[in-house]
Amino acid sequence: MEQMLRVGVITSTHGVRGEVKVFPTTDDAKRFKTLKKVILDGREPLELSIEQVKFFKNMVILKFKGYDNINDVETWRQRDLLITRDQAVELKEDEYFITDLIGLTVVNEEEVVLGRVKDVLETGANDVYVVELTGGKELLLPAIKDCILNVDLEGGRMKVHVLDGLMDL
């Protein structure tokens, strides 16, 4: 399991006083209000203390303590902002971080290996798991109780029921 979780990506600077625009990669951008520290990803990760949070359209504007000039932050474009797992939001039952699902071995009810979780598509109704089948094709499984029978993160397995017609697509 990944020990660091991405919560956003710095897209650009904002103004001249060291603020940055962040595209949030978390389900709830408002959670930046409660975050005190983030880690700027890179060869040498840098821990940053959040001084101020503002929201503009679909972006989050962050100001970090000790960085008061555009020159201090302009090299941070396209860098990820990470948090540690202990800073992560509490998940409800049957909720998982996408990063934990990627790579799980997918088996059907008869324990036959179908493939591996390759990606997760976030749709309006429910997520869809993209499973790369052993033959190279892809299977799209809706993340609903009828399809996803069990997720065992420690064992690295997901047991599924493939609804009629899904393998034909």
Domain limits for position 115: 98-160
What is the reported pLDDT for 168? 66
21-36 average pLDDT score: 92
The SS3 assignment for 138 reads: strand
* Cα–Cα dist 114/100, whole Å: 18
Q: Do 68 and 120 share a domain, yes or no? A: no
Kindly tell me if the per-residue pLDDT of 166 is higher than 80. no
Does the model's pTM come out above 0.85?
no
| Residues linked to residue 24 through DSSP beta bridges, in sequence order | 8
Inter-residue contact 17 to 68 (CB < 8 Å): yes
Question: Which of these three, 87, 113, 140, is where a domain ends?
Answer: 87
* Cα–Cα dist 141/151, whole Å: 14
Q: Do 77 and 145 share a domain, yes or no? A: no
Across the chain, what does the average pLDDT equal? 91
What is the reported pLDDT for 2? 63
The number of distinct structural domains making up the chain is 2
